[in-house]
C-alpha cells in the first residue's frame, strides 16, 4: 500500500470578476523565492491538452459591469455603452451591446439572481425570452458567491442560446429554471443550447433544474464543428419529459461534440437513451475525463444508457459511473446498459474506456453496467473496473455487468464474467475476471469529484497499467493524484490521501483565483480577512509539500494583494491555501512554460 499525501491537481483557466463592494485599500506583498528540491515535473501534456480545449480568448474590446438585476434591453445597441431605458446596465442590455460590437467582450455579474422576465415572440436577437449570444462573449459570475440566471419566469424559453457561430465562455454562473414544452430539436437545450459551429466553455458552473419535452435538458450541442467544454462544473437534476427526450443532462447532434472534464453529471433523467449524456452523432467526438456520472436515469423501452449513450465516437478516461439506471414499465429485449448503451452508428465509430470505474448501476434485463448493441464499430475497455452492477427484474445471474461484443484491451477487472463476447487484442491474459474488486461507496475521496476507493486487499491493487491503449502514459488518477507503476485498475489509485484542492470562501476569509493562470514567472491573488485575523498563506506542490509561505501575519481588514515569484518552481499544478484561526480557503493554479 503506497500511503502518501497528495494535493489534487487541476488545470484552471480564467480570471476573477471584480467584486461589487465598497472601495478598499490594496496592499501588495512580494514574496522571495523559497528553495525546494525534487519538485515533480508533471502533466505538461495534459495541461497543454486542456488548454487546447478552452477557447483562447481574443483581447477584450469592452467590459460591461452589470449593476441591475432588472431584465431590460439596451437602449442604443452598438454605441459602446450598456444602458437600458432606465439608465442601468442589465444582463440583457450587456449581451445586446456586446452582440453589436466586434471582438471578445466581457460581461461581469454580481452574486445575485438574474431573473429573465422579458416576454415576447420566440426570436434569436436577444429582444426577449432567453439570452441570445450572437458574438464572442465571456460572462463572468462572482467566484466567491452565487451568480444565478433563471428562466423560471418565462414560458417555453431557454436560459441561454448561442444560435450562430461564436466563441462563448460562461464562468461561475448557475443556469436554471427553464421549461420547454416543444418536442424534438425545437425543444433542445433548456439550460444552454449551442449551435452552428459555435464553441462554448462552461467553467465552474452549475446547469441544474431545467426541463424540456425535447432533447438535452441541460446542455444541447448541435451542428458540425460545435464543441462544448464542461470544465469543473455540475450538470444536475435536469429532466427530459417528452415522448422521446434524448439526453437528460447533455445531448449532441449533427456533428457536435462535448468535452466533460473534472465535472459531475448527476440526477438527470430522460425518456430515451442517455439519462446523463446522449452522443447522437457519428461525426462529433465526446471526451469524458476525470468526471463522475451518478444517479442518472433513462426511462427507455428499447435503448438504455442511464449514464451515457454513445452512437458516435468517444473516449472515457479516469472517470466513475455509479448508481445510474435504465428502466421502463414494459422493457424490450434490447433495453439495457445501466451505465452505458453503446450502439455505434457506423463501422468507423470507436468508443474507448480506460482507467475508469463502472459500478453499482442497474438495468432491467441485461447489461447492468454496459450494453454493447449490434456489431458495428468497436468498444475497447482497458484498465477499468466493471463490477457490482445489477439487474432489476431478471432472475438470471448472467449479464449483470456486460452484454454484447467487447474488446478487453488489457488489465480490466470484470466481476460477472458471463453474458458478453470478449476479444483480447491487446495484452491478452492480463484481465482479472470473476473477482470482487472490494469497492467502497461513492464518496469524497479527494479531488474535484466523488469516486469509489479500493479496500485493502482488493485484487485491483497493482494489477493495472499506466500505459494507454494508443500509447503514452496515464500519469494521474481521477482525483489528480499520481499513478505509479504497477498502477491499480480503475479510476483511482489506492493508498493516496488527496487533500481537497479548493475550499469555498467564508464570511471570515476569502481569496480570489490566482492570476495569471497558467503562470510563468509571477502570480498573484487577493486575500481578504474580514476581521483582521492572523492568516498563514502556504503554497503546496503536487505531493502536498509546502514550497512557499508568502504570508504569515495579521491581515488588515482590507484586500491584500499577495505576489508570488514562481520562476524557480518547476512546471506543474499547485495549491495556494490561506488558513485562519477557524477556517481556510484554497485555490489551484498551474505553472506552464
Output b/e per residue, 216-254; b: 16+ Cβ within 10 A. bbbbbbbbeebbbbbbbbbbbbbbbbbebbbbbbbbbbb
- With 0-12 CB in 10 A as exposed, 13-18 as middle and 19+ as buried, what is 455? middle
Query: Quick check: 566 pLDDT over 90?
Result: no
Helix, strand, or coil (residue 579): strand
Asked if the peptide bond before residue 518 counts as cis, ω within 30 degrees of 0, the response is yes
- With 0-12 CB in 10 A as exposed, 13-18 as middle and 19+ as buried, what is 354? buried
Query: Quick check: 59 pLDDT over 60?
Result: no
Report the pLDDT value the prediction gives residue 392, as an integer from 0 to 100.
79
Position 42 in a domain: yes
First to last CA, the chain: 34
Position 574 in a domain: yes
Output b/e per residue, 542-564; b: 16+ Cβ within 10 A. bbbbebbebbeeebeeebbebeb
Contact (CB, 8 A) for 247 and 270:
yes
Give the count of domains, the chain: 1
Q: Hey, which bits of 72-210 come out as E strands?
A: 104-108, 113-115, 131-132, 137-140, 148-150, 160-162, 167-171, 174-176, 179-184, 192-194, 199-203, 206-208
Select the highest-mean-pLDDT range: 206-215, 332-341, 552-561. Answer: 206-215
Where helices occur in 125-209 by DSSP H, the ranges are none
Report the pLDDT value the prediction gives residue 543, as an integer from 0 to 100.
55
Query: Quick check: 486 pLDDT over 60?
Result: yes
Look-up of cell digits 487546447: 52
Q: How confident is the model at residue 26 (pLDDT cuts 50, 70, 90)?
A: very low
Percent of the chain with pLDDT over 70: 84
CB-based contacts of 173, cutoff 8 Å, min separation 6: 109, 139, 141, 147, 148, 149, 205, 206
Query: Quick check: 358 pLDDT over 90?
Result: yes
Domain carrying residue 525:
18-50+502-591
Position 496 in a domain: no
* Angle at CA of residue 578, ends 577 and 579, nearest 5°: 115
Mean pLDDT of 333-361: 92
Query: Quick check: 117 pLDDT over 90?
Result: yes
Report the pLDDT value the prediction gives residue 537, as an integer from 0 to 100.
86
Position 564 in a domain: yes
Contact (CB, 8 A) for 406 and 418:
no
Position 268 in a domain: no
Q: Which candidate, 163, 28, 186, 43, places its Cα nearest to that of 558?
A: 28
Position 28 in a domain: yes
CB-based contacts of 330, cutoff 8 Å, min separation 6: 301
Q: Are strands 4-7 and 308-310 parallel, antiparallel or unpaired?
A: unpaired
Rg for the chain, CA atoms, rounded: 24
Contact (CB, 8 A) for 292 and 358:
no
Summarize pLDDT for 256-308 with one digit per residue, the tens: 999 999 999 999 999 998 999 999 999 899 999 999 999 999 998 778 889 99
Cα gap 190→262, rounded to integer Å: 23
- The mean pLDDT of the chain is 84
Cα gap 261→10, rounded to integer Å: 10
Position 191 in a domain: no
Mean pLDDT of 429-449: 93
Position 425 in a domain: no
Contact (CB, 8 A) for 216 and 246:
yes
Contact (CB, 8 A) for 201 and 169:
yes
Cα gap 506→585, rounded to integer Å: 8
Report the pLDDT value the prediction gives residue 51, as an integer from 0 to 100.
36
Query: Quick check: 320 pLDDT over 60?
Result: yes
Residues 487, 492, 497, 500: is their CA dihedral positive or negative?
A: positive
Query: Quick check: 461 pLDDT over 50?
Result: yes
Strand partners, 182: none
Cα gap 396→366, rounded to integer Å: 9
Window from 333-347, 491-505, 516-530 with minimum mean pLDDT: 491-505
CA distances 110 to 16, 18, 377, 516, Å, are 11, 9, 48, 22
Q: For the domain that residue 580 is a member of, what is the CATH number?
A: 2.60.40.1930
Report the pLDDT value the prediction gives residue 402, as an integer from 0 to 100.
92
Amino acid at each position: 500500500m503506497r500511503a502518501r499525501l497528495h494535493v489534487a491537481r487541476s488545470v484552471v483557466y480564467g480570471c476573477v470578476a471584480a467584486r461589487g463592494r465598497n472601495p478598499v485599500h490594496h496592499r501588495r506583498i512580494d514574496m522571495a523565492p523559497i528553495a525546494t528540491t525534487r519538485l515533480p515535473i508533471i502533466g505538461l501534456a495534459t495541461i497543454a491538452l486542456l488548454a487546447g480545449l478552452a477557447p483562447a480568448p481574443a483581447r477584450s474590446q469592452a467590459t460591461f459591469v452589470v449593476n441591475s438585476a432588472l431584465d431590460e434591453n439596451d437602449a442604443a445597441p452598438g454605441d459602446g455603452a450598456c444602458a437600458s431605458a432606465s439608465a442601468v446596465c442589465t444582463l440583457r442590455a450587456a449581451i445586446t451591446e456586446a452582440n453589436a460590437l466586434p471582438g471578445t467582450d466581457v460581461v461581469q455579474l454580481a452574486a445575485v439572481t438574474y431573473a429573465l422576465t422579458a416576454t415576447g415572440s420566440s426570436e434569436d436577437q436577444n429582444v426577449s425570452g432567453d439570452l441570445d449570444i450572437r458574438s464572442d462573449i465571456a460572462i463572468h459570475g462572482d467566484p466567491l458567491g452565487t451568480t444565478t440566471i433563471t428562466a423560471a419566469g418565462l414560458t417555453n424559453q431557454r436560459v441561454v442560446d448561442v444560435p450562430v457561430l461564436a466563441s462563448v465562455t460562461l464562468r461561475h454562473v448557475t443556469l436554471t429554471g427553464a421549461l420547454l414544452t416543444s418536442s424534438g430539436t425545437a425543444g433542445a437545450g433548456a439550460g444552454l443550447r449551442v449551435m452552428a459551429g459555435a464553441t462554448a466553455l462552461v467553467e465552474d458552473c452549475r446547469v441544474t433544474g431545467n426541463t424540456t419535452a425535447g432533447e438535452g435538458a441541460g446542455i444541447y450541442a448541435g451542428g458540425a464543428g460545435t464543441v462544448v467544454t464542461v470544465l469543473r462544473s455540475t450538470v444536475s437534476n435536469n429532466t427530459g419529459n417528452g415522448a422521446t427526450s434524448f439526453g437528460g443532462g447533455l445531448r449532441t447532434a449533427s456533428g457536435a461534440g462535448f468535452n466533460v472534464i473534472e465535472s459531475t453529471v448527476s440526477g438527470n433523467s430522460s425518456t430515451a437513451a442517455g439519462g446523463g449524456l446522449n452522443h447522437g452523432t457519428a461525426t462529433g467526438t465526446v471526451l469524458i475525463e476525470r468526471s463522475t456520472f451518478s444517479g442518472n436515469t433513462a426511462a427507455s423501452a428499447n435503448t438504455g444508457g442511464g449514464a451515457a449513450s454513445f452512437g458516435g465516437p468517444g473516449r472515457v478516461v479516469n472517470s466513475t459511473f455509479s448508481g445510474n439506471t435504465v428502466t421502463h414499465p414494459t422493457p424490450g429485449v434490447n433495453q439495457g446498459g445501466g451505465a452505458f448503451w453503446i450502439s455505434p452508428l457506423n463501422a468507423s465509430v470507436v468508443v474507448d474506456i480506460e482507467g475508469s470505474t463502472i459500478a453499482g448501476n442497474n438495468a432491467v434485463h441485461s447489461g447492468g453496467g454496459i450494453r454493447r448493441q449490434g456489431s458495428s464499430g468497436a468498444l475497447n475497455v482497458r484498465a477499468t473496473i466493471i463490477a457490482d452492477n445489477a439487474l432489476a427484474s431478471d432472475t438470471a445471474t448472467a449479464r449483470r455487468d456486460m452484454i454484447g461484443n467487447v474488446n478487453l484491451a488489457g488489465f480490466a477487472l470484470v466481476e460477472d464474467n458471463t453474458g458478453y463476447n470478449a476479444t483480447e487484442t491487446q495484452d491478452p491474459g492480463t484481465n482479472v475476471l470473476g473477482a470482487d474488486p472490494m469497492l467502497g461507496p461513492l464518496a469524497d475521496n479527494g479531488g474535484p469529484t466523488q469516486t469509489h476507493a479500493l479496500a485493502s486487499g482488493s485484487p485491483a491493487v497493482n494489477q493495472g497499467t499506466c500505459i494507454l491503449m494508443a500509447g503514452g502514459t496515464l500519469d494521474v488518477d481521477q482525483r489528480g493524484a499520481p499513478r505509479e507503476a504497477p498502477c491499480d485498475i480503475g479510476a483511482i489509485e489506492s493508498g493516496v490521501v488527496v487533500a481537497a484542492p479548493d475550499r469555498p470562501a467564508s464570511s471570515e476569509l476569502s481569496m480570489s483565483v490566482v492570476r495569471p493562470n497558467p503562470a510563468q514567472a509571477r502570480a498573484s491573488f487577493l486575500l481578504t480577512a474580514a476581521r483582521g485575523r492572523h492568516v498563514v498563506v502556504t503554497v503546496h506542490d503536487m505531493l502536498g509539500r509546502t514550497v512557499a509561505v508568502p504570508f504569515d501575519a495579521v491581515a488588515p481588514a482590507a484586500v491584500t494583494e499577495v505576489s508570488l515569484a514562481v520562476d524557480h518552481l518547476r512546471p506543474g499544478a499547485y495549491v495556494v491555501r490561506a488558513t485562519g484561526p477557524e477556517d481556510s480557503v484554497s485555490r489551484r493554479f498551474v505553472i506552464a512554460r
